[in-house]
Amino acid sequence: MNIMKLQRFGPVINRSRLNTSRFGDKPLWFRPFTVIKVAEQSSGFGLVEDETLAQKKKELYQSLEGINRGIFGIPSGKKLEIESLVKQLESQNPTPEPTLELDKVDGCWRLVYSTISILGSRRTKLGLRDFISLGDFFQTIDKAK
């Protein structure tokens, strides 16, 4: 199962006093936050690269609109478009092996796209996607545990 996590969320209140759900250690309330990349630029090239990266991210999010994370299947053309954008973004990743630097992925992540399919493609073709609506999926990565 390949899962791509794109949006990071952080707790609203102090971790020591988090309300947890009955489904485990997930806090009930999350607030999105933005990590800003700060770098010294030696020329105007870095600015253009950052704008290109931001544009690719915007294109990816637009491609993901209305497909319910891809869980119920998507047309092959759309899938190729998404995979191409993901590969382009991955090629710009300053941390090529994030699993070796867990402090960079520590936190709560919201699933925005997955290559997994639920119940196989035959059932989704029968219109299952019209009867089931799934909420957000979150995964917490806690480096300390």
User: In this predicted model, what pLDDT tens digit does every residue of 22-58 receive, in sequence order?
Assistant: 444 444 444 444 343 333 334 444 455 688 888 999 9
Question: Between these two residues, 14 and 143, which has the higher pLDDT value?
Answer: 143
CA distance 22 to 98: 30
Q: Determine what percent of the chain is predicted with pLDDT higher than 90.
A: 7
DSSP 33: -
pLDDT for res 59: 93
Residue boundaries of the structural domains of the chain: 3-35+43-141
Give pLDDT, residue 34: 39
